[in-house]
Amino acid sequence: MGWGASFMDLHVEIAGKRLRGSVIEKQVAIAGYEKAIADGDTPIMLEKNSEGIYTASLGNLKPGEAATIEYRYAQLLQVEEGCARICLPTTIAPRYGKEQFGGIQEHQSTQADMLVQYPLTLSLLLSGGTEKCTIESPSHHIDVTHNTSGTIIELTRDAFLDRDFILSLSGLKNQSFCMAAPDKHMGSEACTVLASFNPNIDNGKFAQPVALKILVDCSGSMNGEFLLVIRRPIWAVHRLSMPYFPPLDSKRMMLRQMFYSLPMVKFGIPRTSLRLPRSLDNVSSPLALAMPLLKLSCKN
């Protein structure tokens, strides 16, 4: 699967029957799979070997019999400078070393053969706002058509599973997206909403006062080098905003107050500069307390 993707569902069609996979404990699944093979059935088992790598095992497939395996996964698109990149993995990169070190059993490893040709057909539907962007593929020749459902991308030439399919979407600058889906785990009337916010910031309109807030995740998983990394962009924003600030002394005072206001309220410590060093000494991660919130009140 693609980087950062989450596996969603599995369907298999064998002998005119459509089956859907269910999640069960691994050892129970292996025992059931082996029993089905011994009984002469045609079972299929999907295992997660490591992050992003899954192995499907199909047993007792009769000569001339075909099986169709369908799987669904979800992946968040990363929009940078108004562009997004969709990568559909179709090849398995060579892996070196012992299989067990990567969580892969010996029979689950693959042997590449450059002379074998596996054909590839593809039909991709873009909707929800992405159909309005500029569409290109640096890896394959594509045909783009539009209908009422969205934009359909198909391959124009015979393709094979010899390289990943890559689709480039440009012209997405300042576009925000959202989607909602039923959440059966929360009840019949509950739903989950996934939204992105990409504000349209016009540099020519900064003559008016601007309040900028940056919220930094200071949970336990952010300790260590993550906080050191996030400190760089925060201070970069600080340096870029220096021409819009009042004199240096008042600017430093405002930043210091906003930096420490949230942790002081959280731990019930009065907001006094005399108590500040003592409060930071009592916390295992002072850096985490130093950057929960940065507020810049820019004035031209």
For position 224, what pLDDT does the model report? 62
For position 219, what pLDDT does the model report? 66
Q: Is the pTM of this model over 0.75?
A: no
Q: Where are the beta strands (DSSP E) in 148-202?
A: 151-155, 159-160, 165-170, 178-182, 191-195
- Which residues of the chain are modeled with pLDDT < 70? 93-103, 112, 200-214, 216-228, 230-231, 234, 237-300
User: DSSP assignment, residue 168?
Assistant: E
For position 273, what pLDDT does the model report? 36
CA dihedral 95, 101, 106, 107 (to 10 degrees): -80
For position 252, what pLDDT does the model report? 40
For position 58, what pLDDT does the model report? 87
For position 201, what pLDDT does the model report? 65
Q: Which two tokens stand for residue 177?
A: 């997206």
